[in-house]
């Protein structure tokens, strides 16, 4: 399956990422409206925030990989690992703070993060299966 990702062209991956971000935006609005109608506006706001955090995280990954693209693989490991830990720390602090200060919003943010990952996985699988690349 890894070979399928390697063989995908940048255009197909870019479209999959764009589809993920657009879907996440739509789902964020739907989550906000539905949760508000059900009487949980803070959960809806948390869902939207979690989706935004995940989209920002994906953007940071893109930026980091692009920056390290021309660096030798062995020397790129440490900066990539440190930036990954930094991204995870920021996300963890934001969600942890929300869980502590505004529990419904914090749980909504966790749900938004999970929702984004499901949409991301779906988009990437669609891109790999749609490319005709088989491992």
Any domain includes 96: yes
- Asked if residue 16 belongs to a domain, the reply is yes
**CB proximity list for 94: less than 8 A, separation 6 or greater:** 53, 109
Please give the residue range of the domain that contains residue 65: 9-129
**Mean pLDDT value across residues 64-75:** 71
Note the pLDDT of residue 8.
Answer: 59
- 81 found inside a domain: yes
Is residue 49 a part of any domain in this protein? yes
pLDDT at 131 over 90: no
- Structural domains of the chain, count: 1
Sign of torsion over alpha carbons 8, 9, 11, 13:
positive
| pLDDT surpasses 90 at 95 | yes
Assess whether pLDDT exceeds 90 at residue 79: no
Select the more confidently predicted residue: 80 or 126. Answer: 126
Q: Does residue 96 carry a pLDDT above 90?
A: yes
- Residue 3 falls inside a structural domain: no
Question: Coil, strand or helix: which one is 71?
Answer: coil
Asked if 135 and 2 touch (Cβ cutoff 8 Å), the reply is yes
């Amino acid at each position: 399956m890894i070979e399928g990702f390697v063989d995908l062209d940048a255009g197909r991956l870019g479209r999959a990422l764009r589809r993920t971000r657009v879907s996440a935006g739509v789902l964020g609005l739907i989550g906000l409206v539905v949760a508000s109608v059900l009487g949980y506006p803070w959960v809806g706001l948390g869902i939207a925030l979690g989706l935004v955090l995940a989209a920002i995280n994906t953007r940071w990954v893109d930026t980091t990989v692009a920056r390290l693209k021309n660096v030798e693989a062995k020397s790129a490991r440490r900066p990539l690992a440190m930036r990954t830990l930094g991204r995870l720390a920021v996300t963890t602090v934001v969600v942890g703070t929300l869980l502590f200060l505004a529990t419904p919003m914090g749980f909504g943010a966790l749900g938004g993060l999970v929702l984004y990952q499901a949409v991301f996985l779906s988009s990437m699988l669609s891109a790999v299966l749609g490319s005709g690349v088989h491992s």
